[in-house]
Structure 1
Amino acid sequence: MNGFLQRAKAELKALTQRDAEVGASGFPGHAQWQHQPANQHHDSGPGHGQHIISDPAALDILRYRYHHGTNLGSVYVIERWLHPSRFPDGAEGSSELAAVQAWVDRIGIDATKQNFEEHWANSVSDEALRWLANVAKCTTVRLPIGYYDLPGPVFTRGTPFEPYAAVYTGAWYSIRTLIQRLRAHSIGVLIDLHALPGGGNAQEHSGTNSGRAELWTSDSNRALGVRCCRFIAEDSRAGAEIAGIQLVNEAEWESEHMYEWYDECIAAVSAVDPEIPIVISDGWNLDKAVDWALQKNSIYSHPQCPVVIDTHYYWAFTDEDKAKSPQQIIGEAGTKLAQLDGKEGSVIDRGAVQVIVGEYSCVLTEDSWAKSDGIPKEDLVRQFGQAQSNRFQQRAGGSFFWTWKMDWMPGGEWGFQAKTDDGSVVPPKYALMSGDHRRGMIEKARHERDGRLHEAMQQHVSYWSGVDPNGTYEHEKFEHGWQVGYQDAFAFFEGRGTPSDKIGMLEVWVLKRIRESGYRGGFTWLFEQGLRKGVRDFYVAAEI
């Protein structure tokens, strides 16, 4: 019987997915219709009562919408190739540490502190914020920072930055101010611990030019990294309201202790606030990261922060990619994230897996451009950027172009401003809707809500009566899930103080809702499938 039920469940999922694809054909006003708590007679398993599921709050939308955005690189973690002006003439090295050393040697601690604070304060103008929000349609910025940017000597003691700690005493205040300024434009911030003690990888963007990734081989470095994560979580809970915390950027391939360290960081942050999304680096092995995240994001595990995987896509560094034509690479871009195939759609059975693309660009090598077969480069760049944008919007929970700020603005194929302005990087189509169009879609979905609920329930009950006529099912859980899902999608699209959006981080959102429902075991899968069906039905009704 269990095998039969599993097959039947799979058939139901396929049926509801097909229904969404062909556009199967409800919603009173927000004040009139709220998520309904599960009735007390619902069987949720021993020790588990049902809970009231509240409407998505503004912070939920900030964290779980589709993250269309960019990196704000080389502001709090300097890279010389992006900002050569951050180095005095004759300075050696190319990292943050090299820059601060050179300036202190040249002008002293106090003047260097003033220099850096002026740079931070002037990196993002009010005009730039308006461009991000109104032209680029950014919802989120990925903000690389270093451990040395956190306040207090505890974060630099015993590290190469200890002699320069005074330079950074105002760094976290600057970061907090930027978070608030972005939030005023409805843009969230993913805090990315780009530079960790010892380095998560051997590159300059880990903060030094050591050429070594010593985070993984040092107990003290890893312990300091955990403290950094815990501090950010505590500060966020105190009011920073960030979109998430990325534990490390581009972790070295097969780093020793990497997943054990992730476990420590997740436990530390979860003890402070289990609602903050935690982003891990896939360490250039997305398959392994997917399998690990599915285990972490289980409804049966101790409640903890939802885990999201960060992967990066570049086609400009390997001999293999140099051998490809732009047209080949454009085609390849449309196939990425296939590692998710078959891993989504049932949190109950498998756990939740969610991926964001933390970095990508429109850069190819001259070897590739030489194989363009006479097609103008600007045309191929546009096709390349759009292929990536479209694919990531289909399969990821968000994507962040590398990068926005450099001395040589607007940045060419590395520049978010340049590639947004020329149409290479495009936001989701719904982000471009006029206010009138959006309000019309909301009213249409509101009007159709009851009819769509009736149709969904009729289809659902009819299906199970056909495949298992003697079975006993708690169909009210499917109905409850549908109501929650439809209202969730409605709330995200209506905005709740933010521009309209979709639930981009759908898999971890479903995980969150199942946990909040109080259901465990038994027919909890009916709640999940109802929730997913409600979300899809709203998008069909709203035509997005």
Structure 2
Amino acid sequence: MKGFLQKAKAELRGKTQRDTIGFPGRHFGNGHSQGQYYDPPDEQFVCSDSENVQAQTIHDPTPLDILRYRYHHATNLGSIYVIERWLQPSRFPDGAEGSSELAAVKAWVDRIGIEATKQKFEEDWTNALSEDDIQWLVDEAKCTTIRLPIGYFDLPGAEFTQDTPFEPYARVYEGAWNNIRTLISRLRAHSIGVLLDLHALPGGANAQEHSGTNSGRAEFWNSSSNRDLGVRCCQFLAEDATTGSEIAGIQLVNEALWEAEGMYEWYDECIDAISDIDASIPIFISDGWNFRKAIDYTLQKNSVNVDQPTSPVVIDTHYYWAFTDDDKKKSPQQVIWEVHTKLAELDGKEGSVLDRGAVQVIVGEYSCVLTEDSWAKSGGTPKEELVEQFGEAQSKRYQQRAGGSFFWTYKMDWMPGGEWGFTAQSDAGNIVPPPYTQLSLEERGWFVEKARDEKDRRMRKAVQQHVTYWRRVDPHGSYEFEKYQHGWNVGFQDALAFFEGRATQGDKIGMLEIWVLKRVRESGYRGALTWQFEHGLRKGIQDLYAAVEI
């Protein structure tokens, strides 16, 4: 490999030098890595829109930017800070009634007392993820991000449990948040980001046990005190993030009830509260099982044309084929085909944040589980083969259309977890990381050098094609083609920074739509010709990926 790389580098340098001879250039003054612009023949720029330029705030992507905006090849941590009995029956004493966090803490306190329960829970949290576990996530699974389910009762201070079912057990949770902060730091040291997921809200955002209790009711939405406490939880997480925890984002709620009353009004409150503290933190919302409605809402929130921009908003949607009567009727082959249709609601919604706003989606939960009824319809094809096809289809589809995918789940008592297990499915090769994650450091370094050598040639070609097209379509139009060239350079350099890694493993801009939104906002352009910058930005990103062959 070493000899091949050296030979390829020499050939590349020679070709690049031949391509660049004889092209005089000039520089544009300010901005992010604008580089050299080569005038297309006989073209003059018309600056009719210049009075609409505001202060530009574009800087090179930081490691935290990459942590937040790369493609999240990810997993949920599982039943650690919000207990679910089916995943971790060992967290319950013998004879305990119920299957939720509340049931577990109550049973232990009744049996061994509050101080011993506090010690036990703290030991369980601390031992949940070993250094070997983290190293496996990085080296084998190529995991970039953990979605970390937490409950409101895990936050510090009596005010978070006061007047809730967890108030009698507040002492048990006094060390929970420090434990979570330590876990975030441990993961960050290995370039794994953490999406803090408020899985359990007071009263329950849905009727399931993962809301923290076995009440069987979703009492969050119709209680003003619960909703107010939910906003305060979000404020605390945002304020804590400003102290250096470097999180990937905050998820307001997990699997909100279908058509929950006032859900989007509550989202507005939380988004405003977090944005007032730090408008750079990505905010993740549940689609409430109504994906189209969430898309329409997000497009409005992620707009360029607002006086006071708020945090970027990302939709969390979940895909399972193991719970409904309709799912049971499908064969594995039908399910695998259906995977390729998911996220089609995004068609026509992406590609122009200036016209429509930005819509960004993650698949916050998925698995390789099907019902026994479905497996019985396999037609004789071995189950192992169909699980592989199912996992590969999901990996490919979500990498094509989403900003990340988070397998459910990583940790359970019955490791490696079968079709529910990130470990089992990753080790089997059924959950497939993006191909570029398999590059060695030497291979990545060679592609980085190749991209840098090709940059000027690709930039000239892109700008010349752009200018030629618009002069042909509208020869008398007024344009500011330097905005396109500026955007191209920003996009190319941004994508290269993500690919290099900058204190991360090296990745792709997966959260592309909200990254474009961020860059357009930072560009300072607000006039009618700002589309030139956005088009150039997207083309520069595309050309970098062509250069590094991803």
**Same fold (TM > 0.5):** yes
Cα distance in 1 between the residues matched to 2:209 and 2:67: 31
- CA deviation map 1:318-355 (0-9, x unaligned): 11110010001011111110010000000000000000
Cα distance in 1 between the residues matched to 2:375 and 2:50: 60
The residue number in structure 2 matching 1:323 is: 329
In the alignment, is residue 85 of structure 1 matched against residue 103 of structure 2?
no
Contact 2:364/2:406, CA 8 A, preserved across alignment: yes
In the alignment, is residue 258 of structure 1 matched against residue 263 of structure 2?
yes
The residue number in structure 2 matching 1:358 is: 364
Tell me which amino acid in the other structure corresponds to 1:65: R
The residue number in structure 2 matching 1:521 is: 527
TM-score by length of structure 1 reads: 0.92
Of 484, 493, 517, the residue aligned with 1:478 is: 484
Tell me which amino acid in the other structure corresponds to 2:180: I
Q: How is 1:280-319 mapped onto 2 (pairs within 5 angstroms)?
A: 280-301=285-306, 302-319=308-325
Cα distance in 2 between the residues matched to 1:92 and 1:48: 64
Tell me which amino acid in the other structure corresponds to 2:134: L
In the alignment, is residue 50 of structure 1 matched against residue 48 of structure 2?
no
The residue number in structure 1 matching 2:416 is: 410
Cα distance in 2 between the residues matched to 1:103 and 1:35: 59
TM-score by length of structure 2 reads: 0.91
Q: How is 1:10-25 mapped onto 2 (pairs within 5 angstroms)?
A: none
In the alignment, is residue 423 of structure 1 matched against residue 429 of structure 2?
yes
Contact 1:489/1:503, CA 8 A, preserved across alignment: yes
The residue number in structure 1 matching 2:496 is: 490
Contact 2:491/2:540, CA 8 A, preserved across alignment: yes
Tell me which amino acid in the other structure corresponds to 1:508: I
Of 105, 109, 115, the residue aligned with 1:100 is: 105
The residue number in structure 2 matching 1:175 is: 180
Contact 1:36/1:53, CA 8 A, preserved across alignment: no
Q: How is 1:123-522 mapped onto 2 (pairs within 5 angstroms)?
A: 123-301=128-306, 302-522=308-528
Tell me which amino acid in the other structure corresponds to 2:33: H
Deviation at 1:35, TM superposition (A): 2.2
Deviation at 1:46, TM superposition (A): 6.4
Structure 1 vs Structure 2 CA RMSD: 1.7
- CA deviation map 1:44-92 (0-9, x unaligned): 6767523141100000000000000100110000000000000000000
Contact 1:71/1:143, CA 8 A, preserved across alignment: yes
Deviation at 1:521, TM superposition (A): 2.4
Deviation at 1:43, TM superposition (A): 6.7
Contact 1:43/1:522, CA 8 A, preserved across alignment: no
Contact 1:299/1:348, CA 8 A, preserved across alignment: yes
Cα distance in 1 between the residues matched to 2:460 and 2:486: 12
Cα distance in 1 between the residues matched to 2:420 and 2:527: 49
Query: Cα–Cα, structure 1 residues 455 and 46, in superposed 2: closer, same or farther, change >3 Å?
Result: closer
Deviation at 1:36, TM superposition (A): 3.9
Deviation at 1:38, TM superposition (A): 13
Deviation at 1:506, TM superposition (A): 0.2
Cα distance in 1 between the residues matched to 2:145 and 2:277: 23
Contact 2:47/2:479, CA 8 A, preserved across alignment: no
Cα distance in 2 between the residues matched to 1:139 and 1:150: 25
SS in 2 for 1:372: coil
Query: Cα–Cα, structure 1 residues 505 and 42, in superposed 2: closer, same or farther, change >3 Å?
Result: farther
Tell me which amino acid in the other structure corresponds to 1:67: H
Contact 2:48/2:478, CA 8 A, preserved across alignment: no
SS in 2 for 1:78: coil
Extract unaligned runs of 5+ from structure 1. Answer: 1-24, 27-32
Deviation at 1:204, TM superposition (A): 0.1
Contact 1:80/1:87, CA 8 A, preserved across alignment: yes
Cα distance in 2 between the residues matched to 1:216 and 1:312: 21
Contact 2:201/2:253, CA 8 A, preserved across alignment: yes
SS in 1 for 2:298: helix
Query: Cα–Cα, structure 1 residues 460 and 46, in superposed 2: closer, same or farther, change >3 Å?
Result: closer
Tell me which amino acid in the other structure corresponds to 1:410: P
SS in 2 for 1:89: coil
Query: Cα–Cα, structure 1 residues 114 and 339, in superposed 2: closer, same or farther, change >3 Å?
Result: same
Tell me which amino acid in the other structure corresponds to 1:165: A
Cα distance in 1 between the residues matched to 2:390 and 2:290: 23
Tell me which amino acid in the other structure corresponds to 2:492: Y
Cα distance in 2 between the residues matched to 1:207 and 1:35: 49
Contact 2:52/2:525, CA 8 A, preserved across alignment: no
The residue number in structure 1 matching 2:16 is: none
The residue number in structure 2 matching 1:15 is: none
SS in 1 for 2:437: helix
Tell me which amino acid in the other structure corresponds to 2:75: T
Tell me which amino acid in the other structure corresponds to 2:99: S
Query: Cα–Cα, structure 1 residues 292 and 44, in superposed 2: closer, same or farther, change >3 Å?
Result: farther
Tell me which amino acid in the other structure corresponds to 1:439: G
Give the 4+ runs in structure 1 shifted more than 6 A: 41-47
Deviation at 1:303, TM superposition (A): 1.1
Deviation at 1:472, TM superposition (A): 1.0
Deviation at 1:440, TM superposition (A): 1.1
Extract unaligned runs of 5+ from structure 2. Answer: 1-18, 21-30, 38-45
Cα distance in 1 between the residues matched to 2:270 and 2:444: 40
Moved more, 222-231 or 46-55: 46-55
